[in-house]
């Protein structure tokens, strides 16, 4: 591969960024977003919540500690494209198996490097999230504009079916001696969520996203976990209907898309954020304790706080823009957060939420 091969990033409003090919040579499209984390690029690449998205890393130097076999959050790379300022071609870490460039090439993920990621980030922040196309194969702007015009908007898009398991399975690290039986609904679940549930004495069985309430109740779990995932939550109507069928019958804990689906099932509304929250350094206030948590986040939609029904209270608020970061039902065992307490990557401030779920099931 020619390390200096020209590549172009074209945004749907016509903004053009020139750079060099990074990873697999070719062409890719998706919604362009940015992540403010200084580390965790491997977990970001493999997070199913990034399905159909091109991720811009705001940190200027990516790949310095390489890629290993342990720090993955799903069975494949999930992003549709990757944008960085500078690639570290020679990683330095005892756990590293390969460079990030080779990793992207192996999984046929198209990227672009040597562009001003500060300018990309500022443009998205000012103008809002938008679709884009990265190409090292076709550099003609007019034909790239034609291809980009065919890409669907994220609003109204159900991407859960792109990432959910096709059949239920038990987490392979489970021990039958665990105390609690948890049904995890896979809207795009991250591995570390399952690992932490397993460490909290849970036997975890992962169910496809379209599993019905009848099937969940027949399984008779001690609790139901609603996972993170990609796309517009309002489009996941089967998930909303399933949650409505188990509310008040089983304890429920939701994260990110799971938080939005629970909120919609309770009667609230969601909306698309201007540019989303993505990074491992986002402050959240716990409204019940007053404590500030530094959190890992990845979402482009949020729950409308003004639409919460009377039996639902806001438990957490995002301090950057005062959007919803968590809710709790007052008359049923159900709660959720709009961030990632499993923190892979990220700080561990919010892992107490798994204990809260265990406490709810133990009742």
Give catalytic residues, as residue numbers.
256, 340, 342
**How far apart are the C-alpha atoms of 207 and 291, rounded to whole Å?**
34
Query: Could you tell me the end-to-end alpha-carbon distance of the chain, in angstroms, rounded to an integer?
Result: 59
Closest CA to 65 of 39, 26, 83: 39
The answer to whether 81 and 222 have CB atoms below 8 angstroms apart is: no
User: Which residues lie closer than 8 Å to 133 by C-beta, 6 or more apart?
Assistant: 9, 10, 27, 28, 29, 144, 147, 148, 151
- Phi first, then psi, for residue 49 (nearest 5°) are -65, -15
Q: Are strands 86-87 and 61-62 parallel, antiparallel or unpaired?
A: parallel
The DSSP code for 152 is P
Q: For the chain, where are the E strands, in sequence order?
A: 6-11, 16-23, 27-35, 53-57, 61-62, 81-83, 86-87, 110-113, 130-135, 169-170, 180-186, 202-208, 223-226, 252-255, 270-286, 292-303, 312-318, 324-329, 334-337
How far apart, in Å, are the Cα atoms of 344 and each of 60, 73, 233?
A: 21, 8, 22
**How far apart are the C-alpha atoms of 89 and 99, rounded to whole Å?**
6
Closest CA to 78 of 112, 54, 111: 54
Rg of the chain on CA atoms, in Å: 20
């Amino acid at each position: 591969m020619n390390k200096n091969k020209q590549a172009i990033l074209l945004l749907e409003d016509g903004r053009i960024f020139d750079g060099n090919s990074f990873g697999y040579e070719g062409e890719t499209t998706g919604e362009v977003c940015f992540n403010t984390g200084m580390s965790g690029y491997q977990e970001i690449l493999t997070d199913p919540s990034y399905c159909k998205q091109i991720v811009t890393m705001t940190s200027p130097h990516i790949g310095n500690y390489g890629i290993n076999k342990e720090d993955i959050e799903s069975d494949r790379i999930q992003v549709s494209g990757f944008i960085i300022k500078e690639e570290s071609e020679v990683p330095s870490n005892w756990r590293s198996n390969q460079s990030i460039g080779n990793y992207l090439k192996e999984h046929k993920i198209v990227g672009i490097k040597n562009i001003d990621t500060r300018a990309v980030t500022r443009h998205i922040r000012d103008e809002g999230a938008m679709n884009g196309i990265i190409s090292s194969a076709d550099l003609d702007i007019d034909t790239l504009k034609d291809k980009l015009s065919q890409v669907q908007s994220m609003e109204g898009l159900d991407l859960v079916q792109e990432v959910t398991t096709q059949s239920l399975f038990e987490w392979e690290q489970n021990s039958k001696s665990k105390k609690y039986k948890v049904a995890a609904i896979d809207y795009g679940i991250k591995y570390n969520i399952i690992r932490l549930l397993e460490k909290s004495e849970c036997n975890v069985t992962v169910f496809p996203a379209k599993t019905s309430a009848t099937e969940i109740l027949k399984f008779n779990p001690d609790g139901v976990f609603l996972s993170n995932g990609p796309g517009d939550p309002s489009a996941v109507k089967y998930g909303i209907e399933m949650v409505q069928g188990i509310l008040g019958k089983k304890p429920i804990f939701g994260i990110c898309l799971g938080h939005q689906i629970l909120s919609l099932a309770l009667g609230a509304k969601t909306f698309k954020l201007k540019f989303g929250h993505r990074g491992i350094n986002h402050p959240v206030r716990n409204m019940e304790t007053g404590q500030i948590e530094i959190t890992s986040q990845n979402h482009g939609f949020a729950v409308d706080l003004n639409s919460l029904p009377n039996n639902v209270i806001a438990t957490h608020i995002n301090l950057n823009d005062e959007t919803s970061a968590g809710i709790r039902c007052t008359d049923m065992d159900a709660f959720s957060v709009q961030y990632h307490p499993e923190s892979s990557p990220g700080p561990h401030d919010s892992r107490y939420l798994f204990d809260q779920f265990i406490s709810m099931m133990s009742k």
